[in-house]
Amino acid sequence: MTIYPVILTGGAGSRLWPVSREHFPKPLLPLVGDQTLLQATASRLDGLDNVAEPLFVCNEEHRFLVAEQVQELGKTPTGILLEPEGRNTAPALTVAALYLAERDPDAVMVVMPADHVIPDAAGFRGMVEEGARLAEAGHLVTFGVVPTRAETGYGYIRRGQAIDGSGGFAVDRFVEKPDLDTAAAYVESGEYLWNAGIFVMRADRWLEEIGRFEADMLAACREAVATGKRDTDFCRVGKDAFLNSPANSIDYAVMERTDRAAVVPMSAEWSDVGAWSAIWDILPRDERGNVTSGDVLTHEVENSLIMAQNRCVAAIGIDNMIVVETPDAILVTTRDRAQDVKAIVGQLKEADRDEYRFHRRVFRPWGDYEGIDMGERYQVKRLTVKPGASLSLQMHHHRAEHWIVVSGTARVTCGDEVFILSENQSTYIPLGTKHRLENPGTIPLEIIEVQSGSYLGEDDIVRFEDVYDRVPE
């Protein structure tokens, strides 16, 4: 039996705005400790016997960020499956199961969201071993967290009869998020567990069950994997077939309908880091109950979370507050209204503002860029290009660009010319001219880019060649 960590990285984390954004979401952030949530998840089973490298399922937009973070861990992933669009967790798990079953008919999957916090990794590994034994016996295993309070933000699992010779129980039923009185009764009864959304199961057994209950989903996912495109560690599933799959969760599609569901109680500390109030719960607090990060000054502040990324933040005489500062947005709320941050993200989406999509610093496979200034017909950016990296050969219909090298060495293609620029040298890229920027050196290349023209949006890019396969077919 080989255990495969299957890590689902689709969580947007909109309640953790303005730090979590659509193009750099919660799993990719180091919110608790030095590792990102994804890296901590990918390392969680290290030390367990017969564990393969992780398999990731992620959005196409995040593929290079995921690959880079895994590479930083020194891991070579079993694969990175790319969804053209999120269809909830059941299709994501189905394409992962198909991918693994093709390689290992006996594969046992440990399915984990990439954005949970479990400080006791050793205790968690012990529960995974128990779950794997139940999975080998044919069960579809979920983990249920032993509740420590009446919580209305989680779904619950009522455990049934104990399964002989194991630490698991048959699942009696799944329950939606309850009101406070019902949640208190659940906790008092001792029969209910929080639904953690973590699963252990054989890949072939999942495929049997999804075929029983969601035959259309299985057929669509099977075609998506069969028509997928392989590119080194990446596998793009077939777009048209995948989008034909019904959207559904693992629980609704199978777990609430199967007679093979089992639950293993999980007494280890756990959090889905669903809001800023959860960050305050997890991180160490000072003697006044405060969690602070960055350049923060306080006077008579209590029970608050204050995080500063870019500027000095000073707070006086506040209690039970959350203040989060980033270069382009500031969030202020009370801890008990932290769940409502999603409403602000909804307003940003409705107004089609970039603050829900991007940070001021935007990551690309070749490096990153950061907006410095913007006017009616111009904007200024700072570009950092990794050693050996290259932007696409591209052209703009509506803007010209000036490039000034701050540090490093640039190889520039401008029309039919190719030339080298060094520190303090500059060049001009006329509107409508094919061009490319490369870093042939061994240190990062820093460029100041001044754009001018009638339209300066990021969608004014026509790509002709690209080493990152971003040229439309």
Same domain, 199 and 89: yes
Q: What is the pTM of this model?
A: 0.91
In a domain, 71, yes or no: yes
pLDDT value, residue 8: 97
Same domain as 313, residue 392: no
For residues 204 and 99, membership in a common domain is answered with: yes
CA distance 273 to 407: 39
Q: Name the 3-class secondary structure at 451.
A: strand
**Contact (Cβ atoms closer than 8 angstroms) between residue 97 and residue 81:** no
Q: Which residue has the tokens 């202020």?
A: 332
* Inside any domain, residue 215: yes
Q: In what order do the strands lie in the sheet with 329-334?
A: 291-293, 305-308, 321-326, 329-334
Domain co-membership, 53 together with 166: yes
Longest CA–CA span in the chain (Å) reads: 76
What pLDDT was estimated at residue 11?
Answer: 74
Looking at the fold, whether 318 and 369 belong to one and the same domain comes out as: no
122 found inside a domain: yes
DSSP 149-189: S--SSS-EEEEEEEPTTSS-EEEEEEEPPP-HHHHHHHHHH
Cα dihedral sign for 402, 406, 425, 389? negative
**What's the token pair of residue 326?**
């980033």
- In 6-163, alpha helices (H): 37-42, 63-72, 89-103, 121-136
Predicted confidence at residue 473, as pLDDT, reads: 63
Q: Based on the domain organization, do 337 and 384 belong to the same domain?
A: no
Domain boundary among 212, 243, 266: 266
Is the domain of 249 the same as that of 301?
Answer: no
We report the CATH number of the domain holding residue 196 as 3.90.550.10
Tell me how many helices (H) and strands (E) the chain has.
Answer: 11, 28
Pair 221, 292 in one domain: no
pLDDT at 165: 83
Q: 76 lies in which domain range?
A: 3-266
Q: Is residue 93 part of a domain?
A: yes
Same domain (yes/no): 156, 181: yes
pLDDT given at position 469: 83
Residue type, 458: E
Instruction: Classify residue 39 by burial, with Cβ atoms within 10 Å: 0-12, 13-18, 19+.
Output: buried
Using the 3D structure, point to which of 266, 289, 324 is the last residue of a domain: 266
Residues 139 and 247 in one domain: yes
User: Within a domain: residue 271?
Assistant: no
CB distance 261 to 171 below 8 Å: yes
Domain containing residue 389: CATH number: 2.60.120.10
* Same structural domain, 210 and 334: no
* Domain assignment present for 235: yes
62 falls within a domain: yes
Report the number of distinct structural domains present in the chain: 3
pLDDT along the chain (473 residues), means of 10: 94 90 94 94 95 95 93 95 94 98 96 95 94 96 95 93 91 94 95 96 98 97 94 87 96 96 92 94 96 98 97 98 97 96 96 94 94 94 97 97 98 97 97 97 98 93 91 73
- Residue 347 within a domain: no
Instruction: Report pLDDT for 267.
Output: 86
pLDDT computed for residue 471 by the predictor: 81
Closest CA relative to residue 228, chosen from 129, 107, 96: 96
Given 266, 296, 330, the domain boundary residue is: 266
The answer to whether residues 75 and 190 belong to one domain is yes
Task: For residues 27 and 9, give the distance between their C-alpha atoms in angstroms, rounded to a whole number.
Answer: 7
